[in-house]
Amino acid sequence: MNFQTALLDVRRMGEADRLTVVSGTTVIELMENAGRAVAQAIEKRWSVRPVIVLCGPGNNGGDGFVTARHLSELGWPVDIALLGSQDKLADAARHHAELWRGAVEPLTPAALEGAELVVDAIFGAGLSRALEGPSLETLAAAEQQKLPIVAIDVPSGLMGDTGEALGAVASVLTVTFFRKKPGHLLLPGRLLCGEVVVADIGIPASVLEHIAPDTFENDPSIWIENLPRPQNGGNKYSRGHALISGGYPMTGAARMAARAAARAGAGLTTIAVSSLALPVYAAALTSIMVQPLAVPEDFECLLDDAHYKAFLIGPGAGTGEETRSRVLAMLETGRPTVLDADAITTFADDPPTLFQAIIGPCVLTPHDGEFHRLFDPSGDKLTRTRIAAHRSGAIIILKGSDTVITAPDGQSVINSNAPPTLATAGAGDVLSGIVLGLLAQGMEPFLAASAAVWLHGAAATEFGPGLIAEDLPDMLPIIFRRLYEQK
């Protein structure tokens, strides 16, 4: 994985700090660098105006004292309000508090009077409880007064590992250090952070090799080296043959998935459908082949053909014995298989049978409702997706505005490029088709899942307002062209 996009949970970030201090950089220096970075980010975005810096009792508060000092030296009118007493600050924070030459008042809503900008340096990502008392009241008052808030590390009350908000209010800017945290991307945290700036405060990138990150922000740098690209001398067979089990009477979902698989690069794409449905599919598709099935046994005969490199079932499939038997037959081949929608729901009463059948590469693409039919819905999104992937032996794409992709070994990617226009019927069917198309070309399954989710978001962004799912496949060539130019 590319460590540049690593997301560090609170424990790993603490270890990064510790290793940096062991290597010779003091906590006082790190705090100085952090506060200076916050002041620079503020100066870059606002003209001079009265600022109130709300400081907490820990290192986050120390960052706030440094921020206040640098802004004051730049000519900004700055006040500080402190939660607790100055003599109880931790060593590095106390050091920087003693360098502050202005007054320090108690942290209360009254401290906001006259301020036009608020710096939230009360608590960082390590807070493990809900906000209460003066911190909760003061931030709530700032929100009510519509004062712009700049958060240091994370908005106070936002859990850095999970994105859970326990009293946090929205910031317009969050300045964090070294690497983002999962809570900056997971909902509702992402909606509360505003613009996120990652500042370099002197932590060497080499510490990442020691702390072994297992969570990353989705980005082409993770998978672009493995992204399939048409080769001179190749042919449609070398680019892979994708097979989709088509449903009836709901035919649109499978058709959109098939077009997405083809646009994602599969050399051939076939939809297997009942003879009854053949006229509907055949009339609507041109470059996609349609294979009629007269009897159930015909489907298993198709799977015996080794030319099919990857399978998809679920979009428009319906729930019932036929879908169940087709899922199990696909999985029995050991070839890459994507299970979406009805293929997931049909095992709601018997998840263990599905999990036991997964013997090869398998990607499940549930939304929250489908996820809850197979797995325990409790816990934060990242944790429950990891548990589900480990339990099932499949790669899980848990869809949403903050889609999480997780492999059975716990490696996880959080996606952040999905625009709100993707909340439209059929978008998930297109996503499953993109995954299928990449798998058919031999892309490693976890990377294929991550790439497909990013491509899906990029295609939606490229189209813009008015998007419907049918528009997405036709945007993929534009996105691929840009990626190939980068590669």
Q: Are strands 173-177 and 195-199 parallel, antiparallel or unpaired?
A: parallel
206 and 268 co-located in one domain: no
pLDDT score recorded for residue 230: 86
Range of the domain at 65: 3-216
Tally of structural domains, the chain: 2
* Entry pTM: 0.96
Quote the CA–CA distance of 482 and 477 in Å, as a whole number. 9
349 and 443 co-located in one domain: yes
| 476, amino acid identity | L
16 and 120 co-located in one domain: yes
Contacting residues for 384 by C-beta, under 8 A, at least 6 apart: 371, 375, 376, 377, 378, 398
251 and 198 co-located in one domain: no
Q: What's the average model confidence in pLDDT over 359-381? A: 96
412 and 456 co-located in one domain: yes
146 and 110 co-located in one domain: yes
Which helix (H) or strand (E) segment is 326 a member of?
helix 321-332
Q: What is the pLDDT of residues 33-59, one digit of tens each?
A: 999 999 999 999 999 999 999 999 999
pLDDT score recorded for residue 487: 65
| 328, amino acid identity | L
Instruction: Identify the DSSP state of 81.
Output: E
CATH of the domain at 392: 3.40.1190.20
Q: Are strands 412-414 and 404-406 parallel, antiparallel or unpaired?
A: antiparallel
Are 69 and 96 contacting, i.e. CB atoms less than 8 angstroms apart?
Answer: yes
Among 216, 239, 261, give the residue marking a domain's end.
216
DSSP string for 322-380: HHHHHHHHHHHTTS-EEE-THHHHTTTT-HHHHHHH--S-EEE---HHHHHHHS---S-
Among 201, 216, 231, give the residue marking a domain's end.
216
Coil, strand, or helix at residue 129?
coil
pLDDT of residue 369 exceeding 80: yes
- Residue in 72, 64, 59 with CA at minimum distance from that of residue 17: 59
Which helix (H) or strand (E) segment is 308 a member of?
strand 308-313
CA dihedral 146, 150, 151, 152 (to 10 degrees): -160
229 and 109 co-located in one domain: no
Quote the CA–CA distance of 304 and 396 in Å, as a whole number. 26
CATH of the domain at 144: 3.40.50.10260
Neighbours of 83 (CB within 10 A): 21
209 and 236 co-located in one domain: no
- Beta-bridge partners for 289: 270
459 and 369 co-located in one domain: yes
Lookup: tokens for 157: 């009350």
Among 171, 186, 216, give the residue marking a domain's end.
216
Q: What's the average model confidence in pLDDT over 47-74? A: 97
281 and 430 co-located in one domain: yes
Q: What is the pLDDT of residues 76-93, one digit of tens each?
A: 999 999 999 998 998 999
385 and 297 co-located in one domain: yes
260 and 132 co-located in one domain: no
